[in-house]
Amino acid sequence: MERILRARALVAGSAEGPAVVSRQPLSLWGGLCPRTGEIIDRRHELSGEIVTGRVFVFPQGKGSSTSSATLLESIKAGVAPAGIINLKVDPILALGSIVSDELYHRAVPIVILSEEEFFSIKQGDHVTIEGDGTVKVRTTS
């Protein structure tokens, strides 16, 4: 079954991949290894997961403004998530992706969903993000 959701495209672009889902905010600085794509915040529920090539669904970024640089580094290294779906706007994450787009012409699309739709995406769902903010969710199980 495929559901079609309407998101606000914060950083526009298209992406596709399996969803990796958390209900906890994450600081990418100290939380995402920009060389391996692993979640390295050992207090985080996704600790040890690899986000590379997956659509990363988590409520919002938090903490240090250095998270912009972490996202930029991970995009350059080719280990960034395919796309990011958040509940709340985090300018620090958006900046990392926008600078990457300007510098390397490669961005990670970031979209914002309403609460109900955000929580409807489950781990392992196949998610497609389109340039206009359309999000297609296919439940695999």
Partner 1 sequence: MSVKLSRQDERLLAGRQGKAARMAMRILIRMGEVLDAPELMDISQAHIDGCGLLSDTGLEFAETLAAGDGRVSVPTTLNMGPLDLENWRHFGVNEEFAAKAIRQANAYTAMGCIPTWSCAPYQGYLTPRFGQQIAWGESNAICYANSVLGARTNRYGDFMDICAAITGRVPKCGLHLKENRKGQILLRLADIDPGVMQSNAFYAVLGHLIGSLVEENIPVIEGLDVEASSDQLKALCAAAASAGAVALFHAVGLTPEANSLTEAFGGNEPERVIDITFSDLQRAWSDLSTAEDKDKLDLVVLGCPHFSFDEFRELAGLIRAQTEKNGKLHPDVKFLVISCQTSYALVQRGEFLDKLRDFGVEVTLDTCVFHTPMVSADTKVIMTNSGKCAYYAPGELDVKVAFGTMADCVESAVKGYVYREEGLWKES
Catalytic residues: 64
**In the complex with partner 1, which residue's Cβ is closer, 41 or 125?**
41
Which one, 82 or 94, has the nearer CB to partner 1?
Answer: 94
98 binds partner 1 (CB under 8 A): yes
Contact flag: residue 89 with partner 1 (CB under 8 A): yes
33: contact with partner 1 by CB under 8 A: no
Q: Rounded to 5 degrees, what are φ and ψ at 31?
A: -120, -30
With CB under 8 A as the contact rule, the residue among 95, 120, 126, 133 that binds partner 1 is 95
Binding site for partner 1 (CB under 8 A): 10-11, 30, 65-66, 68-69, 72-73, 76, 89, 91-92, 94-95, 98-99, 102-103
